């Protein structure tokens, strides 16, 4: 504890002089970085539009209300598609994430030197890239539609699910696995009896959690042509049909809330 002697009076401080200086320098640097960044944004902003923003917002708001309720009859199919994209996407993602997670976990991988890095690379690269970018890519490869959206959602979810799952595998109680090994069980039997029961709750939690996220993400995939309710949103925006936009946003909001509610219920039932 640094105590300075100032004119014969002992002064207590939390930090000594040097660490105090370093802290100040770091705060200064952070402040400067923030300021420079902000100036960059400011340079590229047409401030005239921003000053005008309240008026524009009020204008859009005025046009958007009341929503065009009759349009809802055309939203049934898109919502159904959105749900399917999210659910099937999660399903197929889990099918691939499980083996990858086992290959990536330190205690179950067959080879730490070769296979584990490959599995980790798959995990990192699939989860670094947003599902909207995957959708963009898949639309340009296999053409627009619900299928591209579903594939995009599942690719994005592989890395996410596999990462959480392999962390769960690495945290299991090795004693239980050892006990099963000691009975003379084969590698696969040990997996089924010793490891799987331990990670099953984590697996279920991850599945539901990701499904909830996927519902949100699949609502916007249509913006790049990958199916679902986003398609309607895109075309309504293009034609500046604000009453339809507000209705679509309301529907999306309801879908998201229901999705969150369902996933919370299921998680509660499992754990």
Partner 1 sequence: MSVTLESQVGTPWKKPPFIQNSTIRWGLLIIATVYFFMALGSMDVNWERVYFGLERGRRFVAAFLHPDFGSRASDIKEGMMESVIMTVTSTVVGITISIPIALGAARNIAPLPVYLVCRFIISISRALNEIIVAILFVAIFGFGPLAGFLTLSFATIGFLAKLLAEEIEDMNKVQAEAVKATGSSWLQWINFGVQPQIMPRLIGLSIYRLDINFRESAVLGLVGAGGIGATLNTAFDRYEFDTVAAILLIIIVVVMILEYLSGIIRARVQ
Partner 2 sequence: MLKLEKLTKVYKTGDKALSDVDLEVGKGQVIALIGPSGAGKSTLIRCINRLVDPSSGTATLDGVNLTSLGSGALRRERRRMGMIFQEYALVERLTVMENVLSGRLGYVGFWRSFLRKFPQSDVDEAYRLLDRVGLLHMADKRADELSGGQRQRVGICRALIQDPALLLVDEPTASLDPKTSREIMRLITEMCKERGLAAIINIHDVNLAQMFVQRVVALNLGEIIFDGGPTELTPDVLTRIYGEEDWEATIETVDDDEEGEA
Binding residue for partner 2, selected from 193, 209, 243, 260, defined by CB under 8 A = 193
CA distance 46 to 206: 43
* Contact flag: residue 178 with partner 2 (CB under 8 A): yes
Residue 173, both tokens: 């109680």
* Contact flag: residue 217 with partner 1 (CB under 8 A): yes
Binding residue for partner 2, selected from 37, 74, 130, 183, defined by CB under 8 A = 183
Binding residue for partner 2, selected from 78, 89, 159, 194, defined by CB under 8 A = 194
Peptide bond into 9 cis (omega under 30): no
Strand partners, 12: 3
Binding mask 233-262 for partner 1 (x = CB under 8 A): x---x-----------x--xx--xx-----
* Contact flag: residue 269 with partner 2 (CB under 8 A): no
* Contact flag: residue 33 with partner 1 (CB under 8 A): yes
* Contact flag: residue 204 with partner 1 (CB under 8 A): no
DSSP string, 70-130: GGGGGSHHHHHHHHHHHHHHHHHHHHHHHHHHHHHSTTT-S-TTTHHHHHHHHHHHHHHS-
Binding residue for partner 2, selected from 186, 238, 268, 269, defined by CB under 8 A = 186
Shortest Cβ distance from residue 120 to partner 2 (Å)? 24
Binding residue for partner 1, selected from 9, 113, 141, 182, defined by CB under 8 A = 141
Strand partners, 5: 10
Please report, for residues 59, 103, 160, 211, 259, the alpha-carbon distance to residue 122 in angstroms, rounded to integers and kept in the order given: 47, 11, 10, 20, 28
194 binds, among partner 2, partner 1, none (CB under 5 to 8 A by kind): partner 2
Helix (H) or strand (E) holding 267: helix 242-270
* Contact flag: residue 188 with partner 1 (CB under 8 A): no
* Contact flag: residue 123 with partner 1 (CB under 8 A): no
Shortest Cβ distance from residue 264 to partner 1 (Å)? 13
What does the DSSP 8-state code read for residue 191?
I
Count of C-beta atoms within a 10 Å radius of residue 107: 13
Contacts of residue 23, defined as CB under 8 A and 6 or more positions apart, other chains included, come to 15
Q: Tell me how far the alpha carbon of residue 136 is from its chain's centroid.
A: 17
* Contact flag: residue 171 with partner 2 (CB under 8 A): no
Strand partners, 6: 9
CA distance 159 to 165: 10
Q: Which stretch binds partner 1 (CB under 8 A): 7-15, 17-25, 126-134, 174-182?
A: 126-134
Q: Which residues contribute to the site for partner 1 (CB under 8 A)?
A: 30, 33-34, 37-38, 40-42, 44-46, 49-50, 53, 56-57, 60, 80-81, 83-84, 87-88, 91, 124-125, 128-130, 132-133, 136-137, 140-143, 145-147, 150, 216-217, 219-220, 223-224, 233, 237, 249, 252-253, 256-257
């Amino acid at each position: 504890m640094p105590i300075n002697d100032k004119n014969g009076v002992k002064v207590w401080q939390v930090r000594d002089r040097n660490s105090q200086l370093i802290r100040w320098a770091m705060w200064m640097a952070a402040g400067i970085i923030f300021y420079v960044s902000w100036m960059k944004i400011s340079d590229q902003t047409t401030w005239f539009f921003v000053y005008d923003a309240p008026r524009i917002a009020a204008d859009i708001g005025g046009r958007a209300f009341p929503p065009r309720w009759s349009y809802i009859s055309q939203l049934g199919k898109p919502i159904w598609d959105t749900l399917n994209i999210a659910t099937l996407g999660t399903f197929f993602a889990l099918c691939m994430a499980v083996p990858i997670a086992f290959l990536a976990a330190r205690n179950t991988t067959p080879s730490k030197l070769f296979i584990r890095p490959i599995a980790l690379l798959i995990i990192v690269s699939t989860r670094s890239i947003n599902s909207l970018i995957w959708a963009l890519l898949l639309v340009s490869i296999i053409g627009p539609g619900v299928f591209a959206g579903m594939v995009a959602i599942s690719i994005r979810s592989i890395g996410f699910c596999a990462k959480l799952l392999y962390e769960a595998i690495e945290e299991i109680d090795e004693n239980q696995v050892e006990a099963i090994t000691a009975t003379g069980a084969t590698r696969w039997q040990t997996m089924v009896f010793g490891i799987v029961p331990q990670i099953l709750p984590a697996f279920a939690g991850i599945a539901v959690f990701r499904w909830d996220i996927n519902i949100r993400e699949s609502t916007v995939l249509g913006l790049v042509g990958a199916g679902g309710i986003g398609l309607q949103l895109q075309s309504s925006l293009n034609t500046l049909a604000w009453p339809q936009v507000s209705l679509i946003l309301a529907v999306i909001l309801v879908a998201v809330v229901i999705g969150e509610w369902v996933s919370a219920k299921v998680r509660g039932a499992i754990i």
